[in-house]
């Protein structure tokens, strides 16, 4: 279900409606109004589904927060690499941020390090 479909559709219908009204096309006007009515009905259904999901989510979230305090700390940045407390080595920030992979970087020279996975040079 794409929640924006009926909204986009009714916007298009509104444009058609103003054309139909301007050209005094009564039967076309009636058709468009009945389409708009069913679109609005669909939007109402979608919104009420979303409302239920939001209520559910916020219920779940408040219980989750109470049970588990956030333990994932953001890694520290050093020499352009991430270092994790309790782990030795310099890790590629790009691989960690994009894929959640901890890739140990290797030293290229005194100023630069390189990631063996994504080949980005870090300093
Ligand atoms: Zn990388």
pLDDT tens digits for range 48-78:
999 999 999 988 877 766 665 556 667 899 8
**Which residues touch 5 (CB under 8 Å, ≥6 apart)?**
none
Query: Which pLDDT score is estimated for 93?
Result: 94
- CA–centroid distance, residue 91 to ligand 1 (Å): 8
pLDDT digits (tens, 9 = 90+) for 8-19: 999 999 999 999
Look at residues 48, 15, 13 and name the one whose alpha carbon lies nearest to residue 33. Answer: 13
pTM of the predicted model, to two decimals?
A: 0.46
- CA–centroid distance, residue 79 to ligand 1 (Å): 14
- CA–centroid distance, residue 92 to ligand 1 (Å): 5
- CA–centroid distance, residue 57 to ligand 1 (Å): 34
- CA–centroid distance, residue 84 to ligand 1 (Å): 15
Cβ-contact 42, 49 below 8 angstroms: no
- CA–centroid distance, residue 106 to ligand 1 (Å): 11
Give pairs for 102-107: CB < 8 Å, separation 24+.
Answer: 105/81
**Residue 97, helix vs strand vs coil:** helix
Cβ-contact 80, 96 below 8 angstroms: no
């Amino acid at each position: 279900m794409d929640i924006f479909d009926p909204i986009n559709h009714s916007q298009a219908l509104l444009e058609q409606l103003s054309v139909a009204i301007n050209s005094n096309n009564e039967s076309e006007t009636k058709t468009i109004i009945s389409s708009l009515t069913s679109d609005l009905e669909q939007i109402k259904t979608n919104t009420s589904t979303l409302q239920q999901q939001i209520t559910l989510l916020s219920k779940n979230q408040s219980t989750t927060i109470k049970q588990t305090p956030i333990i994932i700390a953001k890694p520290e940045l050093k020499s352009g690499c991430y270092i994790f407390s309790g782990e030795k080595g310099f890790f590629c920030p790009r691989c960690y941020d994009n894929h959640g992979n901890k890739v140990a970087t290797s030293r290229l020279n005194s100023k630069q390090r390189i990631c063996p996975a994504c080949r980005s040079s870090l300093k």
